[in-house]
Amino acid sequence: MAVVEAAEAGDPEAAGRLLPLVYSELRKLAGAWMGKLPPGQTLQPTALVHEAYLRLLGKRDLNLNGRRHFFFAAARAMRDILVEQARSKAGPKRGGNRGRVPLDETLAALEPAADHVLAVSEALDELEREDPLKARLVQLRYFAGMNMEEAAQVLGVSQRTAHRHWRFVKAWLRARL
């Protein structure tokens, strides 16, 4: 990914060439991410891709060693954006302290609370402190939408090891959430 390295070095032309090369894959990641969120989100996958792309290119200390690191960094940037959005929605200014109201035909549908994204993010932060490899597996599977084969390849582990870690992580997350 010489284009990534050139964009990282600050070459504006390389940054312009990079987006068309990775856009469809980033859009796929964003679509997978957004599909896991409750309905009623105001952020669209396209906006998520653009914001994540801008954050990646804006980082001065971003060290990418090829495709694997680029997409891991993109998944992390998307996670951070969605967590920031969830936190802002959970704040008192956005009605974060409001209670549940039974659905009545006369009431309009309300946008769901952002608790799910925040809870997953906090649990993932805890897992990252305990076992960074398993946390990266969750990011690749849950946030980047990769299948087990792709995630194992990115992490440099066998599929069997990835499956074993995934079973552990699912049980661990159920206990935390």
For the ranges 17-26, 56-65, 98-107, 142-151, the lowest mean pLDDT is seen at 98-107
Q: Which residue has the tokens 């032309």?
A: 13
Q: Write down the domain spans for the chain.
A: 2-93+114-176
Confidence band, pLDDT 50/70/90 cuts, at residue 62: low
pLDDT exceeds 80 at position 70: no
Cβ–Cβ under 8 Å, residues 25 and 33: no
The terminus-to-terminus CA distance of the chain in angstroms comes to 38
pLDDT exceeds 60 at position 97: no
Cβ–Cβ under 8 Å, residues 75 and 143: yes
Angle between helices 45-58 and 67-90 (to 10 degrees): 120
Structure confidence by residue, pLDDT tens digits, 74-95: 888 888 888 888 787 766 554 5
Q: What is the mean pLDDT of the chain?
A: 75
Closest of 42, 61, 40, 64 to residue 51, by C-alpha: 42
pTM over 0.85: no
Could you give phi then psi for residue 170, rounded to 5 degrees? Answer: -60, -45
Structure confidence by residue, pLDDT tens digits, 43-59: 788 888 888 878 877 76
Closest of 50, 56, 153 to residue 161, by C-alpha: 153
Closest of 56, 103, 59 to residue 79, by C-alpha: 56
Confidence band, pLDDT 50/70/90 cuts, at residue 134: very high
Most confident of 2-16, 82-96, 140-154: 140-154
